[in-house]
Structure 1
């Protein structure tokens, strides 16, 4: 049984770096320590361990820019090749890159690894600087796509995302994306990296914006469900912060919290709706938002 693990303790990191050196540096006669660089502290590290807890694969990802992630140091133990572990560690690192807000991934591949990265969806873009002054490499690029758990009515969800992009351009810069819609629950996510303050946590204003857009989005999709249209505006919003967000910003709105009637819109009148949005950092609740929205009937020309 294999599982992806994030090294945390000093002992785990020591074993992780030793594995990296043994499989990526020692074969070229480079000394211990040569496997590390200046990005270790700002990178995300992952290993794959077997049932005994032994490391059998590893990899690392860090951001070059807010939208570009670089994947490095992919290694699989020779005794465990051709078992899909390379793809497994790549999937884990790409998911981390998406959570950080990256829209593309790059890697500098040695000639012997080009086929592997090509199989993972990367394409050669240009020649990269030699590694350690001697190993020739090619820079390869892959566009990252969302891997939503479940999206009901994908056309409506795509329309909602596009509406945010077209009418509220800041959502694109904040990395706010519709992650899941089941008909009863709407979940959105944002990039922490694009909304981080000097304390390494998410701006309070960004949290408020994420909550507001999630509530706005729930009403938008409920209008679609009923074949109605209208201009959605925020009437009042109140948020209670309990803990800072330091990892994975998420916002969840459940249909059970939505109150209001759609009948007035059918008569060409404005309608009032209230709802709640839960803000989480990963699986930890950190804030609650209570919002009042008005839906104004679209004006028709006389």
Structure 2
């Protein structure tokens, strides 16, 4: 049985890149290593492996602008052509793009792949370039729908609160990309938040993580209200620490998942403070760049 996921070890990335090279570079006598570029660490990668963990298909998503992403390096093993693996990779990358607030995908398709992408909804915009003096590429685009549309109004309300009451969040262009009760993803303008090393400023990372955690508490509290539970309160950060693991150059986003949250709102029903503890991660591509542990109090309103 085949599995679609991200590579998660040095060995898996080695196999992932080897298939990319074998399909996209070797036929034109290009050396191994030529299939990689400077965006690998900040991009999102997906692959399909069989039951023996052999890599069968690969693809990559990178950020172009805050709302535009690019799919690159699509490759399927020669022996697995025509089995829908490429389509599965594309769909997975589109889903990730939508969850990160990307609303348009661009790509450069080889001439023989134009029909494949057109069937998936991509529109050709014209000639792009010729690779190795032989392989013609054409520019294609596709609009991506907003993910979790039913949560959009709550997300917009929360963003308005942030931008109206926390000037830094507005300057950072902090946005909610996705929320479905199990996961919250936020993002900000990585280019604006750069330091002198052209990586994301530590203070901006801390702000992104703090407000991602605050946002989780806000949205889950309002979900309880939607169910008819009379809960309300002011959310404050009581205690926090953050650990920075690696620099962020692009595609930065914050994330909280339900499995990393403890506590509940029950005390509010008795007019007492409620407490929520959680872990928020800030990612650069597939990699966790910072880990934030925070404790939030919800203070009942009189």
Task: Assess same fold via TM > 0.5.
Answer: yes
For the structure 1 residues 98 and 289, does the alpha-carbon distance in structure 2 shift closer, same or farther, using more than 3 Å as the test? farther
Residue 189 of structure 1 corresponds to 185
Aligned residue runs from structure 1 range 118-197, under 5 A? 118-145=118-145, 147=147, 155=150, 157-169=151-163, 170=169, 173-181=173-181, 187-191=183-187, 194=190
Residue 30 of structure 2 corresponds to 31
Residue 274 of structure 1 corresponds to 274
For the structure 1 residues 93 and 236, does the alpha-carbon distance in structure 2 shift closer, same or farther, using more than 3 Å as the test? closer
* TM-score normalised by length of structure 2: 0.71
Contact 1:258–1:273, Cα closer than 8 Å, also in 2? no
Are 2:204 and 1:208 aligned? Answer: no
Shift of 1:196: 8.1
Deviates most, 217-226 or 205-214: 217-226
1:81-135 deviation digits (Å, cap 9, x = unpaired): 2222112222333344455553332111122212222333322344423334443
Shift of 1:293: 4.1
* TM-score normalised by length of structure 1: 0.71
1:239-298 deviation digits (Å, cap 9, x = unpaired): 322544778621546783442239xxxxxxxx87634152243999841322234558xx
Q: For residues 43 and 142 of structure 1, what CA distance do their matches in structure 2 show?
A: 19
Are 2:261 and 1:261 aligned? Answer: no
Q: For residues 159 and 89 of structure 2, what CA distance do their matches in structure 1 show?
A: 32
For the structure 1 residues 133 and 273, does the alpha-carbon distance in structure 2 shift closer, same or farther, using more than 3 Å as the test? farther
Runs of 5+ consecutive residues of structure 1 not aligned to the other structure = 149-153, 263-270, 297-302
Q: For residues 41 and 237 of structure 1, what CA distance do their matches in structure 2 show?
A: 32
Residue 249 of structure 1 corresponds to 255
Contact 2:70–2:106, Cα closer than 8 Å, also in 1? yes
For the structure 1 residues 146 and 200, does the alpha-carbon distance in structure 2 shift closer, same or farther, using more than 3 Å as the test? farther
Work out which structure has the larger RCO, using CA pairs closer than 8 Å and 6 or more positions apart in sequence: 2
- Rg: which structure is higher? 1
Residue 234 of structure 1 corresponds to 234
Q: For residues 41 and 219 of structure 1, what CA distance do their matches in structure 2 show?
A: 35
SS at match of 1:102: coil
Contact 1:58–1:75, Cα closer than 8 Å, also in 2? yes
Deviates most, 72-81 or 274-283: 274-283
For the structure 1 residues 187 and 80, does the alpha-carbon distance in structure 2 shift closer, same or farther, using more than 3 Å as the test? closer
